[in-house]
Structure 1
Amino acid sequence: MTATDTTPAHLVDAEPFVPIQTRSERPTSYDPADFGTPTGREVNWKLSDVKRLAPLFVDEETEAGIELGIDALAERGLLVESTGHDAAPRGEVFVPEDVVSAIAWKRCEDALHIRLPEGQVQDEPAIVRLTGTGADRHANGHIVVEAMPGSVGTVVLHHSGSAQYAQNLEIIVRDGARLTLISVQDWQDDTVHAAAHQAVVGEGAYLKHMVVSFGGGVVRVNPSMRLAGHRAEGEMFGLSFADSGQHIESQVFMFHEGVETRGDVLYKGALQGTGARSVWIGDVLIGNAATGTDSYEKNQNLVLTDGARADSIPNLEIQTGDIAGAGHASATGRFDDEQLFYLQSRGIEEEEARRLVVIGFLMEIVQKIGVPEIEARLADAIEEELRRGAGLAPASKAGA
């Protein structure tokens, strides 16, 4: 008996389709046309709010939709002229991974270049204020933050106002430098913001990277960090609070490339209100030469009301068996009944007890900033979000 081949004719000579499995395999290009327009079926867009992000998919000239507050940096000698796409060190680290970052690269000819001088300790944070000038104004930007060898300092990017803003952020931490980079998204509710952060950390260097997102209609901040040097260290922290109708997303990538590198990833989010949505995808890659690596990633979400949804996907890829340790974890749920019971048993009213639980949950990230003035402002922002929560009604089930 002879078997009959029922394969359709148009598939006989077709190449097998193998979907992209890991973050490190994603295609890169400086040409937006190589990516096409996202449909929501692509691996890096399937959980995104593609409809509301659509204005950022258009490759066209844009207005000056962002006002920069950088006078204090100029006075401190921290700004370096960066004219044209070929101005070093632009492009030393950054390569676009999606159409939005490719358009931002193409349409932003001149970069904002912040440099911490070699061997110097900056006692005061370098603060860049980026203010959107209108929800109907599309802007593209490229920022380079460079910490020279032996330098120590903190750079804060504070976003506010309204805009349609695509941003590329290139972070270079030279050998022996120690940098803290904090990106605060405090937009108005009509803002659409997509940012790609790409960092490299040199030998014996350290980078603390923090993403804090409260405001905005759709906020998608995707950071990646490459621990390239021997004994390079990196920490990636995130804090978000999504309200009704708000979409907050981070796709985080940490690549252990050098020997004896150490990495820690911790993102926490709270959600309240109908349609509140958070997306966190965490990828850790331990390369085949990254012996002695110690790495851990964790995402935790607290769902405060019905109608909110949190997606959390941790991934870990290990290419060598000689490591100190590696792990990942994810948890999404409602209030801890035991914590509430304990507080109420001490005479604290239920609403106040819920407020204290949320603050305790989120303040772990705030306290890692290390700058008291910024920590105080973020603590106030959390309190304001909670006041908008109308009693913090308990959720009947965890987000999806």
Structure 2
Amino acid sequence: MTNAAATMDPAQHGLKAHSDGGWDSKVPVQTRSARPKSTDVADFPRVTGREAVWKFTPVAELDALLNGELDGSRVAASVSGPEGISSEWIARDDARIGRAGIPEERGAAAAWTAFREAHLLTVSAEEKVTAIVTRDTLDAAPRAGHTVIEAKPQSQGLVILENRGTAHLSENVEIVVGDGAQLTVVSVQQWDDDAVHLASHYATVGRDASLTHIVVSLGGGIVRLNPSIHLDHEGANGEALGAYFADAGQHLEHQVYLDHDAPHTRSRVTYKGALQGEGAHTVWIGDVLIRRSATGTDSYEQNRNLVLSEGTRADSIPNLEIETGDIEGAGHASATGRFDDEHIFYLQSRGISEEEARKLVVRGFLLEVIAQIGDAATEERLQAAIEAELAETDLVRAAAVKGA
């Protein structure tokens, strides 16, 4: 009997690559979960700006962080917090690094390749404790950072990362939430106007544990902060919240990923932004993946943008990938627009001026997210920062221009 494999014509149609060569490697990645991952920057090609992950980003202004030599020494930070939260520096080969996720793009890989030590924050208290990590003494030199935040099983904690001053920083932040733990991580960007900040946050959430991840981006010339939350244990809960306010010339970008990979997991994503001034640009991309293993999933994501003046641009792209039909629910929504005239009319009918009515709408729009932080002093300071942003814009005149 003749062996079929031995007689098969290797030139038969469909059994070899096309003559143009490399055709199979040129097919673009279609889903978030299929992206290649590596901690070595050499495994990623140079960024052109045509890639799906970079196409909305001003990559020409990021050359030093994407292709240059980064300072990998410790990123200076002060930590305030009670017992129940410890702070230490660990070597890059420590086994506690790399548990939450690894880079999917060149910017994060460049930072991972360059850093020498990681800043480890460990939450072990069973009653809620708060730690504030402040970074406000950096300079314009391109540098890499790495932070690991771990909540031990059954612990409760709030960790606030405060970013102020000038910086040229690319960093990775890992978040490990143990079984039954309740953790909130807040990243506040109030950089100076010349600051550039690239950040990738990776989180893994344990069985019956909960992570609330909050991003507040108000300052910085370019801020690109991308959180990835992996719900890879049964009963895990993940909430990703964000508030941002872009002024003239600012680029604020957030790419959010929720990966459901275990039964009975839950996620909620809510990002809200306001834009004012010529050249203000915001980007929000929300990816939710419900894997075949994630039966009983309950997920919803939304992004809302409030346009306050002409000359702004808000890109908003929600994506939902479902591999199983056995779920409780999943959905997404996106909206970008100006003030609701009925809301303004209602407030004016109660004796409030048009200018103040418009400011009240913006306050309520953004403070819905900020009020979830859980630290009164931080919430009050961010409310004051939003008030300062609003004081610089004549909202009545801006509305008149849009309506002309």
The answer, yes or no, to whether TM exceeds 0.5 is yes
Question: Is the Cα–Cα contact under 8 Å of residues 39 and 113 in structure 2 kept in the other structure?
Answer: yes
| 1:1-400 correspondence to structure 2 within 5 Å | 11-16=19-24, 17-62=26-71, 66-70=75-79, 72-73=80-81, 76=83, 78-117=85-124, 120-123=126-129, 125-134=130-139, 136-391=140-395, 393-394=398-399
Structure 1's unaligned 5+ residue stretches are 1-9
Contact 1:244 1:273 in 2 (8 A): yes
**Cα offset, 1:82, TM superposition:** 4.1
Note the C-alpha offset of 1:60.
1.6
What residue number does 2:9 align with?
none
Paired residue secondary structure (2:352): coil
CA distance in 1, matches of 2:357, 2:74: 42
Q: For each residue in 1:157-186, what CA deviation from the matched residue of structure 2 results, as whole angstroms up to 9, or x when unmatched?
A: 000010100010000000000000000000
Higher mean alpha-carbon deviation, 388-397 vs 183-192, is at 388-397
- Measured against aligned partners, the alpha-carbon deviations of 1:297-345 in whole angstroms (never above 9, x if no partner) come to 0000000000011000000000001000000000000111111111122
**Using the alignment, how far apart are the partners of 1:360 and 1:312 within structure 2?**
21
1:242 maps to a residue whose letter is A
Secondary structure of the corresponding residue to residue 60 of structure 2: helix
Paired amino acid for 1:30 = T
Tell me whether 289-298 or 20-29 shows the greater mean CA deviation. Answer: 20-29
What amino acid maps onto 1:33 in structure 2?
Answer: A
Are the equivalent residues in 1 in contact too, given 2:101–2:202 (CA < 8 A)? yes
Shift of 1:61: 4.2
Letter in 1 for 2:78: G
Q: Deviations over 1:19-55 (max 9, x none)?
A: 1111111111111111122111001000111122222
Unaligned runs of 5+ in 2: 1-17
Task: Report if aligned partners of 2:238, 2:268 keep a CA contact under 8 Å in 1.
Answer: yes
Aligned 8 A contact 1:218 1:246 in 2 = yes
Counterparts in 2 of 1:80 and 1:159: CA distance versus 1, 3 Å: closer
Displacement, 1:385? 0.8
Deviation string 1:343-362 (CA, Å, 9 cap, x unpaired) is 12222211111111111111
- Aligned CA distance change for structure 1 residues 59 and 78 (closer, same or farther; 3 Å): farther
After superposing the two structures, state which structure 1 stretch, 45-54 or 211-220, moved more: 45-54
Task: Tell me how far 1:88 sits from its aligned partner.
Answer: 2.3
Greater CA radius of gyration, 1 or 2? 2
How many aligned residue pairs are there? Answer: 385
CA contact (8 A) 1:194 1:219 kept: yes
In the TM superposition, what whole-angstrom CA distance separates every residue of 1:49-73 from its partner, at most 9, and x where no partner exists?
Answer: 1122222113424276943112x34
Give the Cα separation in 2 of the matches to 1:369 and 1:348.
Answer: 29
Would the aligned equivalents of 1:65 and 1:133 in 2 still touch at CA under 8 Å?
A: no
SS in 1 for 2:166: strand
| C-alpha distance 304-88 of structure 1, shift in aligned 2 (>3 A) | same
TM-score, normalization by structure 2 = 0.91
Question: Retained in 1: the 8 A contact 2:348–2:354?
Answer: yes
- Residue 377 of structure 1: how far off its partner (Å): 1.4
Paired with 1:285 and 1:229, the residues of 2 have a C-alpha distance of 15
The TM-score with structure 1 as length reference comes to 0.92
| Distance in 2 (alpha carbons) for counterparts of 1:112 and 1:48 | 28
